[in-house]
Structure 1
Amino acid sequence: MHSELAVVDAAIIGLGRWGQRLVNSVQADGVSNGSGIRITSGYSRTRRNAEGFANQQGIQLFDDVESLLREADVSAVLIASPHSKHVEQIIAAAEAGLHVYVEKPLALDVAGALRAVDACSRTSRVLAVGFNRRYLPAYQRMQDLSANGELGQLTHVEGNFSGPFGYDYRSDNWHSSGSETPSGGMTLMGVHILDAMIGIAGHVHRVHARSRRLVLQIPLDDTTDVALEFNSGATGYLSTSTATASSWRLQVFGSAGWAHLIDEQTLIVRLIGEEPRIERFDHIDLERSELRAFARSITSGAPSLVPVLDAVNGVIALNCVHDSVHSGQPALLEHA
């Protein structure tokens, strides 16, 4: 296996709806679209459901993860499996000498996250976590405004990520399991907002959360909200629903003004004493962007837009959200 390739050949674990989306973002009929990465082999828990897609994309299917990691002629692996499988699959891939891209969340518990990070560090393998909103040009502009002082001192950030996804899941779907998606939409969608906040306000220090099922018939919470405090002293608020129309927004407040992403392509900025200004950005393929960056990290050592320590802080915060939901009390991040 080679650590640097003009086009990185990769395997994928998980060829459900999202795994197929990842593949389609970087290739067509098995040919890379210039993203710098090509998926040549894979594993699916339901092989029969994946065979047609795999044949179309030139993906060799393996019967189990172990044989895939041992025998596939690749230098990297994408992990799009159920959340509870992430840690052991990351460790196995790193020990097999493969660079790793894993869908969010990195892990469901702090100990697992640290084990996964350690495995990739010990083997000098790239570990990338799929928080794709970091690649939005509009979000990067918001980061710049927050960092360069134009908004003044950062005081507060808030956001929402919601959608009707809960209506699409059956009770036997792994996304509906409380062990795979604790606190409902927080694990499915809210973590994206949480990571976006960490990328602007820094690491989380304290959370106070609520989560409940009000309308869904499956065992998945549909309404979750979290109050946050950051190490910087700034505060935050995020909410998520798995049973409403689609929504994605993020707003940051500073002592000199605010910036508001009302969707993924439109940023509104208003400074004290000035009229609001609207900045619009082109649509991009987020999955292609993050996998292209993953390939560049492998071939050139380019740093990830999602630092591993940010991903770990997100896991710690997520666990504290679950603790707060169950206790009804605020939870302090011990490893923040």
Structure 2
Amino acid sequence: MSSKVRLAFVGLGWWSNKLADAAAQCDNIEIAACYSRSLEKRDLFRKQYGGVGKETYEELLEDKSIDGIVLTTPNSLHITQTVDAANYGKHVYVEKPMAITVEECKKMIDASKSNNVILMIGQNSRRMARFRKAKQMIEQGLLGKIVLVEANSSGDLGMKLTPDNWRGHKKESPAGPLMSYTVHQADNLNYLIGPITKITAFKSKLCGPAETDDVFTSIAQFENGALGYIGGSFITPDRKLLQIHGTEGVILLDEDDGSISYQKKGTKHMVKTIMPNPDQQRLDSLKEEIKEFADCIQLGKEPEVTGAVGMNAIAIIEAIYRSAENGNTTQLRDLL
């Protein structure tokens, strides 16, 4: 392999450009090719980032000079595109959500293992400075025993979706805000606190024009006994926060200013630690993420967010959706 990993970008929407911006800053990455059904998108991407525009996905996979594929395509395509890429011996980076169901995730993992290729999932939230700081504080024991968690990821994307946008269709994104927003919090919770064992959830379809439901809320029980609220909306102003309560302290992670605040037991107020602004944290996380993908390809090492880690986040989302649909508590062991 050359000194640079040759990556091909597939999907070519706005998020693909964000990842390509990050890749362009990495010394060990060459943007070698791109694919979209849209010739216009292919030409725009190629002119901005370089590489060759491929007319079909199969043509891209047949190019033996390409080491890895970066998928930022509709959710329902992840399963087939990942399996096909793995069968061609390509390493695969899949932007969150990994897939629509846990069963699809399992097939993606099996394909990557049987073809001895890397499968990495784009869950960049955990890499942001405030989440890394929270992980450090928890490991240092500053929260004591964690007993309660509040996680919300909401935005107004559902009010902006037009009929041609796949994010508004249940086939492509059945859980609406859970797939677009809350999957980040699902991964954050696994990363910071540990596995969830069961979930009871509710949903509402209120006023959004999209086919998907507008609002989800759920109560979760963690393996360590802690309880938590996990929710998200598709029809309200952007608001994403995570608050973790422990016997020795509380931390609040807020996306508004990218800060982390800590209240120690015995005090009455939170003390805020200013971190890099949210946009900078996002840029840094994407660069770390895409560089790690290239490093793993070059060195043959396992990424932080493996297929199994990505699947665990999907299990939470699927558990919420199932419970909201059937009115019963979902046991995650039944999914995994």
Map of 1:197 onto structure 2: 189
TM-score scaled by length of structure 1 = 0.92
Aligned to 2:164: 172
Output the CA distance in 2 between the equivalents of 1:47 and 1:118: 33
Q: Who is 1:316 aligned against?
A: 315
Q: TM-score, normalised by structure 2?
A: 0.92
State whether residues 9 and 37 of structure 1, in contact with CA within 8 Å, keep that contact through their aligned partners in structure 2: yes
Of 16, 20, 28, 2:17 maps to 20
1:269 and 2:269 correspond: no
Gaps of 5+ in 2: none
Maintained 8 Å contact 2:8/2:31: yes
Matched letter for residue 8 of structure 1: V
- Alpha-carbon offset, residue 307 of structure 1: 4.1
8 Å CA contact 1:83–1:105 kept in 2: the answer is yes
Cα separation, partners in 2 of 1:137 and 1:301, compared to 1, 3 Å: farther
| Distance change >3 Å, CA 310–CA 235, structure 1 → 2 | farther
User: Distance between the aligned counterparts of 2:210 and 2:85, measured in 1?
Assistant: 34
**Residue equivalent to 1:30:** none
Q: CA RMSD in A?
A: 1.8
Contact 1:16 / 1:50 at 8 angstroms: preserved in 2? no
1:181-192 to 2 correspondences below 5 Å: 181-192=173-184
Q: CA deviation at 1:230?
A: 1.6
Structure 1 segment 17-96 matched on structure 2, within 5 A: 17-27=14-24, 33-34=25-26, 36-71=28-63, 73-96=65-88
Three-state SS of the structure 2 residue aligned to 1:66 is: helix
Distance 1:164 1:35, change over 3 A: farther
Cα distance, 1:55–1:311 mapped onto 2, change above 3 Å: same
CA shift digits 1:184-226 (9 cap, x unpaired):
1011111111111111121221111122221212213221112
Instruction: Supply the AA of the counterpart residue of 1:270.
Output: Q
1:242-295 per-position Cα deviation (integer Å, ceiling 9, x unaligned): 222211211111111111102262000111013532212223313222111212
Out of 275, 282, 286, the position equivalent to 1:281 is 275
Structure 1 position 302, deviation (Å): 4.9
2:5 matched to 1:8?
yes
Map 1:194-273 to 2 at 5 A.
Answer: 194-263=186-255, 265-273=258-266
Structure-2 change in CA distance of 1:215 and 1:98 (3 Å): same
- Alignment length, in residue pairs? 328
- How far the C-alpha of 1:70 sits from its partner, in A, is 0.8
1:268 maps to amino acid: S
**CA distance in structure 2 between the partners assigned to 1:158 and 1:39 by the alignment:** 39
* CA pair 130-35 structure 1, distance change in 2 beyond 3 A: farther
Which deviates more, 51-60 or 204-213?
51-60
Residue 301 to residue 137, structure 1, CA distance change in 2 (3 Å): farther
CA contact (8 A) 2:252 2:260 kept: yes
Q: What residue in structure 2 maps to residue 297 of structure 1?
A: 296
How far off is 1:55 after superposition?
2.3
